[in-house]
Amino acid sequence: MEPVVDRIAQPWGSRTPFEPGTPWPARVDAFLADGLAPQDVERWVPAASLLHSNGDAMDIAVRHGRIVGVRGRASDRVNRGRLGPKDLFGWQANHSPDRLTSPLMRRGGELVPCDWDTAMSAVVARSKGLLDESGPGSVGFYTSGQLFLEEYYTLAVIARAGIGTNHLDGNTRLCTATAAQALKETFGCDGQPASYTDIDHCDALALFGHNMAETQPVLWMRVLDRLEGAAPPRLVCVDPRPTPAAARATVHLAPRAGTNVALLNALLHEIIRTDRIDRDYIDQHTVGFDELAERVAECAPAWAARICDVPVSRIEHAAEILGTARRLLSTVLQGVYQSHQATAAAVQVNNLQLIRGMLGRPGCGVLQMNGQPTAENTRECGANGDLPGFRNWENDAHVAELARLWNVKPSRIPHYAPPTPAMQILRYAEQGSIRMLWISGTNPAVSLPELARIRSILGQERLFTVVQDLFLTETAQLADVVLPAATWGEKTGTFTNADRTVHLSDKAVDPPGHARPDLDIFLDYAHRMDFRDKDDQPLIGWHDPASAFAAWQECSRGRPCDYTGLSYERLREHGGIQWPCTDQAPDGTERLYGDGITWAAPETCETYGKDLVTGAPVSETEYRALNPHGRAVLKAAEYLPPHEDTDDEYPLQLTTGRTLYHFHTRTKTGRTPQLNAAAPDVWVELSATEAARCGVAEGDLVEVTSARGRIRGRLRVTAIRDGTVFVPFHYGYFDTPAGHRPADGAPGRAANETTITDWDPVSKQPLFKTAAARLTLVKRSDGAVAPAPTITASAPLHPRSFPPTAGGPAAAATQTAETEGERP
C-alpha cells in the first residue's frame, strides 16, 4: 500500500535520509484527478515543473485527450521522483474555464473577440508603420521566464536582427538579473558554477536571502534528507523572516533590509583575519585579492553588528562555520537580488567561495539561484538584454560571429549601447519614444514596482500594447491586442533549470479553442513581417520546435552554454542533462571550473564588468589590464546605506516576497483549488514587538502605506525581525470586482502598490525589499485570522491557537501518493 500524504499540510512529504557522498534515495510523488488510478492513464508524457525554477522532472498523465495528473520521475538527477505542491496540483489551471481561446482586439474602448488573421494583421501593420515613421527604437519586447528555449531564441532573432531594436528584456530582470550579473562580474560569464548534487556532499550550506523551502521545495527536501542522515551539514541562514531554513539553521542571521554588503564584508573580514583562506587557489585562479582584503580590513563583526542590527556573536559564529568547512556550498536568491546593493552583495558571496578555494569539486560551489523555470533560457538565448550564447555586445568579434550565424550584416544587430533593461523600456514607453510594446507571458500590472505608474504607462493611448498570455490578466485588460497562448503540456520545447539541467517538455494535449504555442505566434509574425537576411532569404529558417532547437544548437556551439551534444531523443530517453553537453562531454557537465576559470579572458568573456557601486562600465582596456589571463575577479564593494530609509512618518522597513503555494501573480496558482485555498488572500506580517507599538493584533485588518500607495490585509504576527513589515507580492485584482486595479479611491491588494521605483545600478534589477512604510489599524479582527499558511515563514508566533495549513474546501483533493524506490 502506497503511503498517502496531505501535500498541502505536509508540503515536503516524508523523509528519506542519506549520508554525505551517497546517492539521494528516490521517492516518487504522484497526484491524479479524483477517482482515477494509475491504470486509468492512457499516456504518460515527459515534462518538467513550470511553477518554480527547480526543474523537477515529471510525467503528465493523459486520459481522453485531457491532462488528469502528474507523477515524478525517479531516475532524474534533479528531483529523484519528488514533486512540490505547485508541481502536484498546478496543472489543473490548464483546465480553467476562463482560458483565452481566441484573439481579442480593442474596439470602442472594449476588448472584443476576433480571428487570428485580423489580430496579427493589426500587429504587423502597427509594426511596419512605426518602423517607417520612427525606426526600430520605437518597438519594444518584454517577455517571460516561463516560455521555452526555442521561443526565446526565435524572439531574440526577431527583435535583434528582424526589427533591429535594443529594447528586448524579460521579467527575469525582476528575479535573476543579479544572479547573471554577479556571475559575469566574477567569472566573466554567466553559468551556474555548482550543481544540486553538491548538497549531497557539502558539510556546510549557507543560504543568503534564499527561502529554499518555499521557492524550491524539492531542493529543500534534499537538504532535509541530508539533515536527517548521518553527518548532516551545518546551516547558515541569512533572512529577516523565520523561514523553515532559519528554524533548522546552526546560525540564523536576520539583518536589517539593505545591509547585506555590510554583513558579507564582515564575514570576509573574519575569514581573512583568521587566515582561513586558500592562498594557492587565490594566487593561481583569481585577481584582486589585495584590494578585497584592504576593503574589508576595517569591517569587523562589531562594525557590521551596528549596521545590520545582528549580534556580534552570531556573525562570528557564522564566519567560523564558513571558514572551517571542508566542503562549502552557498546559495543566493531574492533576499539579495531584490535588495539594496544587490550585485555588490551577490559578488561578495562569490568572493567568499573563491578565497576559500571552494569551487569546482563535489560539495563546493555557489548557486546564484533563479526564480523562474526558464530564466536560464531567457539569459542564454539573449531575451533578457544580452546577446545569444553569452556573447559580449562590446566585442566586435562576438557580434560578427552572430551576424554570420544569422547571415546579416553586423550593423543589423544593435550594439551601439547596452541592451535596454525592463525598467528603462517602461520609461521609454512613458516618455513616448517606444510606441509599441509586446508583452509575452508576464503580468507587469501586478509584478512591477509602483503599480499606479505602471498602469498609467500601459494605459496610454499612444502606446500600442500587445499581450500574449493564457488568461485575461490585469495587464491583458489594458492591451490593444490580446493573443491567446498555449502553455506547458500543450506544446513542445526545452527548458533549463537553475543548475543548467536541460529537460524536454513534450506536448501532451491540444490547447483550448484557437490558442497557439508562443513559437507559432512568433513564427507567424516573422513570416508576415517578411524579415530577410542579406541574401534575401527568410531570416528565420526554422518552422517547428525541433528545427528551432537545431538552430539554437548552432548558436550555442563553442560557447559556455553549448547544447550541441543534446537532442530531443536523448532528453526523452535520459531525462535531464546539464550543459555544456558536447562530443567531449556527452553526458553533460556536473559543475563548472573544476580545471580553472575558463571564460573570463578578454577575448571570450561575456562582459568587461561594471563598477559595483555606480554601475559604470569597465572598458575593454581596463579589463585587459586587470585580467589579461582570464582569472576570476575578486571585486570589493563598500557598504552604502539604502536610498529610502525609515523616518518618523514611515518607521518600518517594507519587504515583499513569495509564499510556498503561489507563483508570481497567481495567474495559474490562483486558479488551482488546493493552492488557492492554502493562501487565498493577501496578508501582512509583523513582529509581536511592532504589533504592540502599532496597537494591532493577530487577524486585525491593517493598512500598509508608503510614499507611493497603500494596501490592506489581515495581520499575521510572526517571529519576523523587529522593524520589518512583510507582504506577499502575488495578489492582484483578476479575482476582484475591480479586475485590474484597486476600486476608485480604495486601498489596493497588490504589494507593489507600495514598492519603490529603484533598481540596482549594476544589474538594473528592481528593489522590492528596500522601502519604508507605516502600518495602521483599520478594523479589529473579531475572531478573524490572517489567510496565511501556518507552516512556512508566515507561521504564527503562537501556533497552538491556529488550525494547521490545509487546502480549505479543496482539502480532500490534496492527498498524494509517495512511493520509495526506482519506479519511473
Q: Is the pLDDT of residue 815 over 90?
A: no
CB atoms within 10 A of CB 710: 17
Least confident of 629-633, 798-802, 808-812: 808-812
- pLDDT, tens digit, 9 for 90 and up, residues 58-88: 999 999 999 999 999 999 999 999 999 999 9
Q: Is the pLDDT of residue 822 over 60?
A: no
CB atoms within 10 A of CB 404: 10
Residue 812 is predicted with a pLDDT of 43
Residues 8-28 as b/e (b if ≥16 CB within 10 A, e otherwise) read bbbbbbeebebebeeebbbbb
Q: Is the pLDDT of residue 607 over 80?
A: yes
Residue 802 pLDDT grade (very low, low, confident, very high; cuts 50, 70, 90)? low
- pLDDT, tens digit, 9 for 90 and up, residues 416-452: 999 999 999 999 999 999 999 999 999 999 999 999 9
Residue 413 pLDDT grade (very low, low, confident, very high; cuts 50, 70, 90)? very high
Residue 809 pLDDT grade (very low, low, confident, very high; cuts 50, 70, 90)? very low
3-state secondary structure of 688: helix
Residues 493-527 as b/e (b if ≥16 CB within 10 A, e otherwise) read bbbbbbbbbbbbbbbbbebbeebbbbbbbbbbbbe
Residue 740 is predicted with a pLDDT of 86
Residue 385 pLDDT grade (very low, low, confident, very high; cuts 50, 70, 90)? confident
Q: Are strands 66-72 and 251-253 parallel, antiparallel or unpaired?
A: unpaired
User: Of the candidates 507, 506, 520, 508, which has an alpha carbon nearest to the alpha carbon of residue 571?
Assistant: 506
- pLDDT, tens digit, 9 for 90 and up, residues 83-141: 999 999 999 999 999 999 999 999 999 999 999 999 999 999 999 999 999 999 999 99
Residue 824 is predicted with a pLDDT of 44
Q: Is the pLDDT of residue 806 over 70?
A: no
Host H or E run for residue 290: helix 289-296
Q: What percent of the chain has pLDDT over 90?
A: 94
Mean pLDDT of 589-602: 97
